[in-house]
Amino acid sequence: MRIVLGVSGGVAAYKAVLLLRLLREQGHRVRVVPTASALRFVGAPTWEALSGEPATDQVFEDVEHVPHVALGQGADLVVVAPATADLLARAASGRADDLLTSTLLTARCPVVMAPAMHTEMWEHAATQANVATLRARGVHVIEPASGRLTGADTGPGRLPEPEEIARVALAVAQDSGDAGGVPGVAAPRRDLAGRRVVVSAGGTREPIDPVRFIGNRSSGRQGVELARSARARGAHVTLVAANLAPDVAALVRDAGLEDVVAVETTAQLREAVRAAATSADVVVMAAAVADFRPAHAPGAKIKKVPGRGPEPITLVENPDVLAELAHDRLRADQVVVGFAAETGDADGSVLDHGRAKARRKGADLLVVNAVGEGRGFGVDANDVTVVDGSGELVATAGGTKREVADAVWDVVARVAADRADAGAVPAE
Ligand SMILES: Cc1cc2nc3c(=O)[nH]c(=O)nc-3n(C[C@H](O)[C@H](O)[C@H](O)COP(=O)(O)O)c2cc1C
């Protein structure tokens, strides 16, 4: 892949040297385009020696090749790291006063920016407005990390580690289908092109009172990876997101998913999923949905009264969102996929429970995963077994949650295609 690495003038420019090495080691051609300020932090010889290409901020050099236009036009990916407050402002207002901002105006490939600055600069309304403008134009702005800044102070504004920037940037390029021919980066399949899918992710919260709730440990990562994978394969994705963990919510923003509905309770999730499902080819219920909720949630906080123990909380059953979707089939030929987080017990193994659940729920496919003891919730690795509606084993998959998501879509896309073929009226 042909990558332009833009570097603007912050202390974290030294980390871009490591990012450059990483990208080069993965076989990419990288042209570094520093700003004048960046060159005061790290000089051109470092960029040129490590990239094997010239590094200048000037538009009036090498003019016969028109670099202020050619670099952006020829790039498969532009990564700006670090992106200063000043660079974000110039990019958002469409300035073209150096080689990097000119390149940003001519690039038609994915653009990823990793801001780094002091917390006050990052949180300033002007910077936040610039970031919002850039995101609205399709730029993938990575949330800065929190931690030690240039001096002794700490807070949000730190440049994420080079490995993380490389991972996000290459994933963005891959998701957009522009990574063809890159060593080590498979071109995404487009087997969901034109399909509408709904994915629920996260865990619902059932209020006990205005400040307390009954929740669960789901971070939402597996559901979000399913949504990102579906989008990369060409689907229009509605993500119904219930209380995502902060790093997973950042992943959603970086992925540029357009249709995200935030919900909190099972009732809200049910309503959002059913509304989107009326026009969906596939519904994947990956969210951990509470089976029960407190029967009454008073409008005021429950007080602790000295000497009197707590009132018992009476629970009532929530609607079974997956079983309802499987029963109602809100659209003809819809494929309904459930997730079951199980633990084995004296009554049977994880798979035994998953198979019984598949038969009970009536979904087309059930993805069964074992949770607890470092698996499933909150970690990036998952092992799953996919069974059909009668409990028959269809596939197994393991690896990162993205790899599991890809493997699940391999199965679901096949079922959806078979169903569409079966429903098609043959031409005369
Ligand atoms: C020591 C030092 C560190 C700086 N660090 C940052 C930084 O991390 N982020 C930032 O937005 N600006 C930082 N600045 C300010 C920028 O260098 C300044 O706004 C400059 O105009 C940015 O130019 P550029 O965006 O064209 O690279 C720093 C300045 C100095 C002197």
| CA-90 nearest atom, ligand 1 | 25
How confident is the model at residue 201, as a pLDDT? 98
- 106 in the Ramachandran plot: left (φ > 0), alpha (ψ -120 to 50) or beta? alpha
Other C-beta atoms lying within 10 Å of the C-beta of residue 226: 29
Name the more confident of 332 and 174: 332
Position 313 confidence tier, pLDDT thresholds 50, 70, 90: very high
Measured in Å, residue 94 CA sits from the centre of ligand 1 at 19
At 293, list the tokens. Answer: 């909720």
User: According to the model, what pLDDT value does residue 184 have?
Assistant: 34
Q: Is the pLDDT of residue 304 over 80?
A: yes
User: What's the confidence (pLDDT) of residue 375?
Assistant: 57
Average pLDDT over residues 143-151: 78
- Positive or negative, the CA dihedral 318, 392, 416, 398 is positive
* Phi/psi of residue 176, nearest 5 degrees: -85, 0
Residue 107 has pLDDT above 70, yes or no: yes
d(CA 32, CA 256): 25
List 201's β-bridge partners, or say none.
Answer: 241
The answer, yes or no, to whether residue 406 has pLDDT greater than 70, is yes
Q: Is the pLDDT of residue 182 over 70?
A: no
Give yes or no for residue 180 having a pLDDT over 60: no
Q: Which of 216, 243, 318, 369 is catalytic?
A: 216
pLDDT digits (tens, 9 = 90+) for 1-58: 899 999 999 999 999 999 999 999 999 999 999 999 999 999 999 999 999 999 999 9
Q: What residues contact residue 215 under an 8 Å CB cut-off, 6+ apart?
A: 203, 204, 205, 206, 243, 290
Average pLDDT of the segment spanning 140-164? 84
Residue at 160: amino acid letter: P
What mean pLDDT is reported for the chain? 90
Residue 173, pLDDT score: 85
In this predicted structure, the answer to whether residue 212 has a pLDDT above a threshold of 80 is: yes
Residue with tokens 């980390």: 15
Beta carbons of 228 and 188 less than 8 angstroms apart:
no
pLDDT at 355 over 50: yes
CA separation for the pair 339, 223 (Å, rounded) = 10
Q: Taking a C-beta distance cutoff of 8 angstroms, is the pair 227, 257 a contact?
A: yes
Q: What is the DSSP string of 319-377?
A: P-HHHHHHHH-SSTT-EEEEEEEE--BTTB-HHHHHHHHHHHH--SEEEEEE-BTTBST
Tell me how crowded residue 260 is: count the other CB atoms within 10 A of its CB: 18
Q: What per-residue confidence (pLDDT) applies to 403?
A: 87
Flag whether pLDDT at 239 surpasses 70: yes
Whether the model pTM is above 0.75: no
pLDDT of residue 136: 83
Count Cα atoms within 13 angstroms, Cβ side, for 29.
Answer: 9
Q: How far apart are CA 398 and CA 4, in angstroms?
A: 34
Q: Is the pLDDT of residue 325 over 90?
A: yes
* pLDDT value, residue 218: 93
Is the model more confident about 9 or about 311?
9
Please name the residue whose Cα sits nearest to atom 22 of ligand 1: 9
Contact 8, 86 (CB under 8 A): yes
- Contact between 81 and 168 (Cβ < 8 Å): no
Stated as kind and residue range, the H or E segment containing 404 is helix 401-423
pLDDT of residue 396: 92
Q: Tell me the HSE value of 225 on the side-chain side, using a 13 A CA sphere.
A: 20
Q: Is there a catalytic annotation at residue 130?
A: no
H or E element at residue 260? strand 259-263
89 lines ligand 1 (CB under 6 A): no
**196: Cα separation from own chain's centroid:** 18
d(CA 273, CA 37): 49
Instruction: Give one word for 72, left, alpha or beta, with left for phi > 0 and alpha for psi -120 to 50.
Output: alpha
Per DSSP, the chain holds a count of helices (H) and strands (E) of 15, 19
Burial of residue 383 (number of CB atoms within 10 Å: 0-12, 13-18, 19+): middle
In the chain, the amino acid numbered 194 is G
pLDDT of residue 402: 86
Nearest CA to ligand 1 atom 28: 10
Tokens describing residue 364: 């087309």
Establish whether the linkage from the previous residue to 82 is cis, with ω within 30° of 0: yes
pLDDT of 140 above 80 = yes
CA 84 / ligand 1 centre spacing (Å): 6
Distance between Cα 9 and ligand 1 center (Å): 5
Residue with tokens 């633990």, as numbered in its chain: 343
Residue 377, pLDDT above cutoff 80: no
pLDDT at position 146 over 50: yes
Q: Are 202 and 241 in contact (CB under 8 A)?
A: yes
Name the residue among 46, 5, 57, 41 with its Cα closest to residue 26.
5
Q: Is the pLDDT of residue 183 over 60?
A: no
Give 28 or 154, the one with higher predicted confidence.
28
Owner of token pair 């026009």: 279
In the predicted model, what is the mean pLDDT of residues 263-286?
Answer: 98
Nearest residue (by CA) to ligand 1, atom 31, is 10
In the chain, % of residues over pLDDT 90: 70
